[in-house]
Homo-oligomer: A and B are copies of this chain.
Amino acid sequence: MRVSITGVAGFIGCNLAAALLARGDEVVGFDNLSLGSKSNLRALVGNARFQFEQVHLHDLDAYGDALRRAHAKRPVDEIWHLAASSDIPAGIADPGIDLRDTYMTTFNTLAVMKELGIGTLAFASSSAIYGDHGERSLSEDTGPLFPISNYGAMKLASEAAISAALESYLKRAFIFRFPNVIGVPATHGVVLDFVRKLKATPGRLQVLGDGTQQKSYLHVEDLVNAMLFIRARAGERLNYYNIGPGDDGVSVRDIAQAVVRAVAPGASIAFGVGNRGWVGDVPRFAYATEKLARLGWTPSLSSAQAIQKALAQIVAQESGK
């Protein structure tokens, strides 16, 4: 298979590319290197089946040219669209960021697929499309959908555009709704944030919010396995799945304590006020993953195990090891 990955230089994109190359696929990767970085591609660039193009995906002309060239060389079978702005607070301050990087990248991906007749799209969606339902279990068919961040809004807009495209020219779609994903190369997220804060001020860790926020976490290796499993096994025209561990998750307080133990034992932890780390942060959600379990996949690591594994990896990453 010849697969194009958008956002290939990001945390998840580079892990996905490595997995596809390992099973023998060709990968054409696109990234504007704004949040992703070339260092994330180091393990891939030596592979003759890997090709990388730096391009702004919100620029339809540039993106179209790049994909047209790649497709002319040898037809691209499917596109895995992962590119997005992963900085949720930035997108709340400036809605233009998620419009451009989280939605227009999808809009343009669909436009080029239509032009070139590429029929299959796999899309990285998010639990953020659901908004804040409190303690209610979030299954794939939960409604209403009122996201509380522009990131969630533009992921939902992307799903909707994909759904509409399936009615006319698109042949198949896979929508993966990601939970919090952790692992390396870490570029953002609570574990990396805490590790860096503690390195900057070793005696004290300042936490946004009161630490009671509790979320489930999936290790990126499990995430990539889940996506490949769904791609291989799900047989609908539109396949949409929550991906995550089915557990109750880990509190921010527990993560803070684990990071303190690993990085600066004895440091104090100062909590903020309220149960939201920032505007647009869903404090707690119960992610239903029975649909994926019925398809036959469950993660190898629980949320707590994923945190432990990622923490060790991130500490090593930040030590330059």
Contacts and interface: CB of A to CB of B under 8 A. Distances in A.
Interface of A: 92, 95, 99, 103, 107, 110-111, 129, 131, 140-150, 152-154, 156-157, 159-161, 163-168, 238, 240, 279-280
Nearest to A151: B164
A107 to B, nearest CB: 6
Given A92-B167, A95-B107, A146-B160, 9 more contacts: A92-B168, A131-B163, A143-B144, A145-B145, A148-B164, A149-B167, A153-B163, A157-B157, A167-B280
B107 A99 contact: yes
A164 B132 CA distance: 11
A238 B146 contact: yes
Contact of A149 (B92, B129, B164): B164
Interface core residue of A131, A140, A167 (most chain B CB under 10 Å): A167
Nearest to A280: B167
Given A111-B95, A145-B143, A160 B153 contact: yes
Contacts of A142: 143-144
A156 B164 CA distance: 12
A280 B168 CA distance: 8
A140 B154 CA distance: 21
A280 B111 CA distance: 17
Contacts of A154: 157, 160
